[in-house]
């Protein structure tokens, strides 16, 4: 059997904030992700989706269980595993080109090679000739594309995106989804994308992982058996939509009930 790109085995996470009671974010989370697979995480607020990404990125430790990348335990950050946040994590004081080339310069890539690689990447994300601008001169969608270029510059095997398009308008969001599918096909990377949007999950995923309310674990895994692009007129699309709406409704109700209980 081939080794999964990522393997979560009984992963637990308990936060113990100083002076407050412990919070169990995840409990016995199990999942194998294949190389080049596009996975979407869908689940109620607070079920540990972001926490899982931080753990894969090596920024947060597990409290129990293991996470293996290509069969090896994760023991810290690596350029093989890129993470993109909701609000484009660019350095505001650097130009777009310097942001995209940042990781390459840390790796000691020579300036001329770096410049060429950076320009190629900017063209591939539709930002050719924009390298001299600073993040605050770009629109939200452009900033997210620059963040994608920066993550891809390191040629990661795993690319993680935490609600990357949540702040964008619907049209820009649809364009960004098409753009992401193109990048994904070219890069061969495995992708984990977190979203609250059922439509986004259906448009993008090979498999959608639906979480339970906190403590998060896998409630169910739904493979999207439709060729891409996936028009929302398709009757199969409607069936997936109904299925995810029902699956989430139960868990969101549970999450709310628990939050109200805690607030009292
Ligand atoms: N550093 C921390 N200290 C204490 N508790 C934390 C910390 N980080 C996360 N948590 C708690 O762990 C749980 C999971 O948080 P997480 O951010 O992973 O959820 P999420 O699924 O990403 O939610 P959302 O959909 O709202 O982004 C939440 O109850 C959160 O309050
Ligand atoms: Mg989150």
* Per-residue pLDDT tens digits for 104-148: 998 899 999 999 999 988 988 889 999 999 999 999 889 988 998
* Residue 49 Cβ contacting ligand 1 at under 6 Å: yes
Q: What is the pTM of this model?
A: 0.92
Residues measured by CB to lie within 5 Å of ligand 2, the ion: 50
Task: Give the separation between CA 115 and CA 121, rounded to whole angstroms.
Answer: 10
Strands (E), the chain: 6-15, 23-33, 38-42, 64-69, 72-73, 81-84, 158-162, 190-195, 207-211, 218-223
Q: Does the CB atom of residue 16 touch ligand 1 within 6 A?
A: no
Reading the block at residue 111, the tokens are: 């300036």
Out of 33-37, 83-87, 117-121, 194-198, pick the least confident: 83-87
In the predicted structure, residue 200 carries a pLDDT above the cut 70: yes
54 Cα nearest atom in ligand 1: 18
pLDDT surpasses 70 at 203: yes
CATH code at 6-232: 3.40.50.300
Closest CA to 192 of 95, 57, 88: 57
Q: Where are the domains of the chain?
A: 6-232
């Amino acid at each position: 059997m081939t080794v999964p790109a990522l393997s979560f085995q009984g992963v637990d996470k308990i936060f113990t904030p100083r002076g407050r009671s412990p919070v169990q974010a995840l409990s016995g989370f199990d999942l194998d992700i294949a190389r080049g697979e596009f996975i979407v995480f869908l689940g109620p607020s607070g079920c540990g989706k972001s926490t899982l990404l931080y753990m894969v990125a090596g920024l947060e430790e597990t409290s129990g269980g293991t996470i293996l990348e290509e069969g090896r335990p994760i023991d810290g950050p690596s350029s093989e595993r890129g993470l993109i946040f909701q609000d484009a994590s660019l350095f505001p004081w650097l130009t777009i080109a310097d942001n995209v080339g940042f990781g390459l310069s840390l790796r000691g890539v020579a300036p001329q090679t770096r410049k060429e690689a950076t320009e190629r990447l900017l063209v591939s994300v539709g930002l050719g000739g924009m390298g001299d601008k600073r993040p605050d001169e770009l629109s939200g969608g452009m900033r997210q594309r620059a963040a994608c270029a920066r993550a891809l510059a390191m040629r990661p095997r795993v690319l993680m995106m935490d609600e990357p398009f949540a702040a964008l308008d619907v049209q820009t969001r649809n364009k960004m989804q098409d753009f992401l599918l193109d990048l994904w096909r070219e890069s061969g990377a495995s992708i984990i994308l977190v979203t609250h949007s059922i439509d986004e999950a259906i448009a993008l995923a090979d498999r959608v992982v639906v979480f339970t309310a906190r403590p998060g674990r896998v409630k169910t895994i739904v493979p999207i058996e439709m060729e891409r692009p996936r028009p929302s007129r398709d009757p199969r699309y409607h069936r997936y939509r109904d299925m995810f709406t029902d699956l989430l409704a139960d868990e969101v109700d549970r999450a709310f009930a628990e939050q109200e209980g805690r607030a009292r």
